[in-house]
Amino acid sequence: MLESWRWYGDLDDISLPEIRQTGAKGIVTALHEVPYGQVWDRELIAKRRHRIEAADLVWSVCESLPVHEDIKRGSGNLNCLFENYRQSMANLASEGVKIICYNFMPLLDWTRTDLTAPVSSGGTCLRFSAIRMAAFEIHMLGREKAEADYPADVVEKAAQYYVGMTADDQKQLLDAIMSGLPGAFDRYDIQGLKQVLRTYEGIEQDELRTNYARFLKEVIPAAEELGILLCVHPDDPPRDILGLPRIVSNMEDIAWIMNAYDSPSNGLTLCAGSLGANPENDVPAIAAKFAERIHFAHLRNVRKDADGSFEEAAHLEGDTDMVALVSVLIKENARRLKNAKTDFLGIPFRPDHGHELLSDIGRCSIPGYPLIGRMKGLAEIRGVVHAVESLSGNGGSFDLPQGF
């Protein structure tokens, strides 16, 4: 498989030479500076590609070519937005970028309540606290019917937590949640968030699915012609947030998406952390079910609490069996290598997120994307890959998990 690394270009305090030292070969990046809905100019794409290649790396995945909120809401000048999306895909393909990760989450790309939660062995991690999120939705935001989205004991504890919050506590919580807004643009205060949430009023799961199906109908034929593989990222976390519906949260959702437009160009970004935050999701089983449609993988782990909270664990220490998951991906990667008609570099994967460790602390990296923590995760996954490949393909007798 192709070891890759997410890089935010000029917004990133981690340099390409530093990434090169991690051993990763592929770069996962995007033109984060371009406002949503606008065409990605081919010259800008080429400039980014040349910069990556000058560091002896390859632009392996575009993450992400964002879907405008109007497409998700089914409002506004959609024909223009679809045409711009298709043109951006064409410009990426012209520069050799053929895998595009995207998501269909309303408003937020991801949601956490703590960006620097302490880890017992030292360092920090990203965390989602159901109690803090409930305190935010019920008491800070005052969202109608928010109590119904949480267990009664969480609602009670959220009320107690809110009473003890200082103004600084409330600001830190709002800032953490707003960190999940994509790109380098809008960040909302409470009133601004209330206003933008109103634009989704009345949109339930069925309508969001209808809008998603239209998106696929508009862009997948163009992707097929361009040789592009689109791969949707699961919801993070895989549950409704802020009253917004989520439709990429479990095996049933993914099956619906794959069937909504049955094409190899309509694929999946297998994000172990996002899917793993739902206790009902068996991530290796999901990977096995949709193996042929996985075009990109995010490998990270989570440790879940009974109340719906979770934190990002070390890559090999959370609730997801990473060895079983990697075994599924290796098996699919071997199948593709055997059948490849052109140069195939392997299924790209990246160590998704990581703990802030050692010199990461105080460096002010993008939340979830430190240098040392991700390098540690990459090294651990690399070890798993080499062990599984050696035992299963070089004379060993390694047995893959039952059913894979």
Q: Which of 295, 315, 353, 355 is catalytic?
A: 353
Q: Is 150 a catalytic residue?
A: no
Q: Which of 233, 295, 315, 355 is catalytic?
A: 233
Distance CA 264, CA 348 (A): 16
Please check whether residue 270 is in contact with residue 296, taking contact to mean a CB–CB distance below 8 angstroms.
yes
Q: Is 235 a catalytic residue?
A: no
Residues in the chain: 404
Q: Which of 62, 125, 231, 271 is catalytic?
A: 271
Q: Going edge to edge, which strands form the sheet with 310-313?
A: 114-118, 124-128, 310-313, 301-304
Going by C-alpha positions, the residue among 366, 346, 362 that lies closest to residue 25 is 346
Q: Is 355 a catalytic residue?
A: no
Q: Which of 298, 315, 355, 360 is catalytic?
A: 298
Q: Which of 102, 162, 212, 369 is catalytic?
A: 369
3-state helix, strand, coil in the chain (%, to 5): 45, 15, 40
The two structure tokens encoding residue 200: 């989704």
Q: Is 32 a catalytic residue?
A: no
Q: Give residue for tokens 């095996």.
A: 251
H or E, element range at 390: helix 371-393
Helices (H), 199-289: 205-226, 251-260, 272-276, 283-289
Q: Is 85 a catalytic residue?
A: no
Q: Is 352 a catalytic residue?
A: yes
Phi and psi torsions of 11, nearest 5°: -85, -10
Q: What positions carry a catalytic annotation?
A: 233, 271, 298, 352-353, 369
